[in-house]
Structure formats: structure tokens, C-alpha cells
């Protein structure tokens, strides 16, 4: 089977038909990303969450779809509804996949966490153009431009300094935004964007011109707006 892409005959409109394992991409009713509307905000429904990220070592890979930082440290966690999720990796999309009140951002970071049952919880962080981001500088100064070019050097990233201070978020149930588009993913999209410089954003956009899945139908899903 041909590999999936973000445009043309193997682009998002065709993912569902490309492989029987990808049917959710075409037929799923709880797909991501979606537009998040402030006026839909409700509180308390899903219970509070807590993000506990700290300084951690990562290894960068270019997997052809994004640049992914694989995390070794099991100490980075998110808790939601009394369940603990451990950070496995983070990666980026340009432009953003989620929008808030129709607004699309330059970049979106996805922090992918898993619990002991392999259920995924993704923390989405929206990025606008502004000041250089010192916390992400160690990653964005050495983005591997091709699938072969990654070095094996561990990179230290202070994730606590990367997240916005305000942890208010849209919490909803959706899917992986790439094949196999598996549903049942907890999404925690932080309302407050972070800033990165034009140079930092461009260094990613030069490698991946557009690696965002188009908006999906909300189909009446409840979006809860809450703080930790």
C-alpha cells in the first residue's frame, strides 16, 4: 500500500480507504482535530487534570510526517480523572491542527502521553509568532531535516518552562490526527498559546510545509473548558 501524506491521492480525504486499519480516518464520528469554541465551554464535566512536566532528555527523529522528540524519562506525567498518563513523545504540526474560535496558529505541539492500558492523552499547545522560545531552542536549533539526519545525542529540554503558565484547557474525546486515526483519545488543548520566533517557526516549516489534518466534524461532542 502507498504511504499516507498530507496532499494529493494519498492525502487526508483518502486515508480511510487506503488501508483496512485506517477505516476510522474515514468513518469515525469522534475524529480530531476540531474547532474549539469558547462559547461551547462548560466546566467540571470531565474532572480536573494536572500536568507535571519537568526537565527531560529527548532523542529527535524525523519520521517523514513530523519531527518527534522521544522521551525516556518516566517522570513526566499528566493525571486526568484519577488516571496517570506518562509522556512518551512530543512532535509538531504546521500550521496548527486545532483552531480556537476559527483562529489557526502557526504551529501546534502535541505532547503524547499513555496510561498503563495504552490509552492516549494528548496535550495540545498552540504556538503564535513572537519572542524566541528558550525552552524549545535546544530542539529547534537542531531539527533533523531528513529521516537519516538525526543525531543520537540526547537533548535536554525543560518542559515545565515550555508550557504556558495558565493551564486552562479544552478537554474533549477525539482521535489520533494521523492514521490509524484511533478514537478514544483524551485531548487537553491549552487555551493560552505560547510564542516562538519567526526563525524557529520557519526552521520547522522549511522541512514540513504543511503537516496538519483538516478540521473534522464535532458531531455534537461536548467540549469542556476547565483549569487544572
Residues with active-site annotation: 65
Partner from Zn ion, ligand BO1, none binding residue 121, C-beta < 5-8 Å depending on class: none
CB atoms within 10 A of CB 193: 20
Q: Does 176 help bind ligand BO1 (rule: CB under 6 A)?
A: yes
Q: Does 112 help bind ligand BO1 (rule: CB under 6 A)?
A: yes
Q: Does 216 help bind ligand BO1 (rule: CB under 6 A)?
A: no
Q: Does 157 help bind ligand BO1 (rule: CB under 6 A)?
A: no
Q: Does 123 help bind ligand BO1 (rule: CB under 6 A)?
A: no
Nearer to ligand BO1, 112 or 143 (CB): 112
Partner from ligand BO1, Zn ion, none binding residue 89, C-beta < 5-8 Å depending on class: ligand BO1
CB of 48 to ligand BO1, least distance (A): 22
- Three-state SS string over the chain comes to CCCCCCCHHHCHHHHHHHCHHHHHHHHCCCCCCCEECHHHCCCCCCCCEEEECCEEEEEEEECCCCEEEEECCCCCEEEECCEEEEEEEEEEECCCCCEECCECCCEEEEEEEECCCCCEEEEEEEEEECCCCCCCHHHHCCCCCCCCCCCCCCEEEEHHHHCCCCCCEEEEEEECCCCCCCEEEEEEEECCCEEECHHHHHHHHCCCCCCCCCCCCCCCCCCEEECC
When binding is defined by CB under 5 A, the residue of 106, 110, 167, 213 that contacts Zn ion is 110
Q: Does 73 help bind ligand BO1 (rule: CB under 6 A)?
A: no
**Which residue's CB atom is positioned nearest to Zn ion?**
110
CB of 226 to ligand BO1, least distance (A): 20
The span of 26-34, 55-63, 102-110, 153-161 binding Zn ion (CB under 5 A) equals 102-110
Sign for the pseudo-dihedral over CA of 82, 32, 161, 119: positive
Nearest to 108 by CA among 60, 36, 49: 36
Q: Does 98 help bind Zn ion (rule: CB under 5 A)?
A: no
Partner from Zn ion, ligand BO1, none binding residue 69, C-beta < 5-8 Å depending on class: none
When binding is defined by CB under 6 A, the residue of 88, 155, 205, 215 that contacts ligand BO1 is 88
Which residues contact ligand BO1 (rule: CB under 6 A)? 88-89, 110, 112, 114, 120, 122, 176-178
Amino acid at each position: 500500500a502507498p504511504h499516507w501524506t498530507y496532499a494529493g491521492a494519498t492525502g487526508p480525504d483518502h486515508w480511510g480507504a487506503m488501508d483496512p486499519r485506517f477505516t476510522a480516518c474515514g468513518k469515525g464520528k469522534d475524529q480530531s482535530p476540531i474547532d474549539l469554541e469558547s462559547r461551547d465551554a462548560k466546566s467540571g464535566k470531565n474532572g480536573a487534570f494536572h500536568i507535571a512536566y519537568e526537565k527531560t532528555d529527548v532523542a529527535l527523529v524525523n519520521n517523514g510526517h513530523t519531527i518527534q522528540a522521544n522521551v525516556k524519562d518516566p517522570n513526566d506525567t499528566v493525571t486526568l480523572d484519577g488516571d496517570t498518563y506518562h509522556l512518551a513523545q512530543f512532535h509538531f504540526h504546521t500550521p496548527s491542527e486545532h483552531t480556537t474560535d476559527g483562529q489557526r496558529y502557526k504551529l501546534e505541539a502535541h505532547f503524547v502521553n499513555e496510561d498503563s492500558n495504552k490509552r492516549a492523552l494528548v496535550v495540545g499547545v498552540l504556538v503564535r509568532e513572537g519572542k524566541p522560545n528558550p525552552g524549545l531552542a535546544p530542539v529547534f536549533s537542531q531539527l533533523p531535516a531528513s529521516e537519516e539526519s538525526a543525531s543520537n545525542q540526547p537533548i535536554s529540554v525543560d518542559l515545565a518552562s515550555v508550557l504556558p503558565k495558565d493551564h486552562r484547557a479544552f478537554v474533549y474525546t477525539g482521535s489520533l490526527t494521523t492514521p490509524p486515526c484511533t478514537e478514544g483519545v483524551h485531548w487537553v488543548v491549552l487555551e493560552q498559546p505560547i510564542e516562538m520566533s519567526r526563525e524557529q517557526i520557519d526552521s520547522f516549516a522549511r522541512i514540513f510545509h504543511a503537516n496538519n489534518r483538516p478540521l473534522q466534524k464535532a458531531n455534537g461532542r461536548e467540549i469542556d473548558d476547565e483549569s487544572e
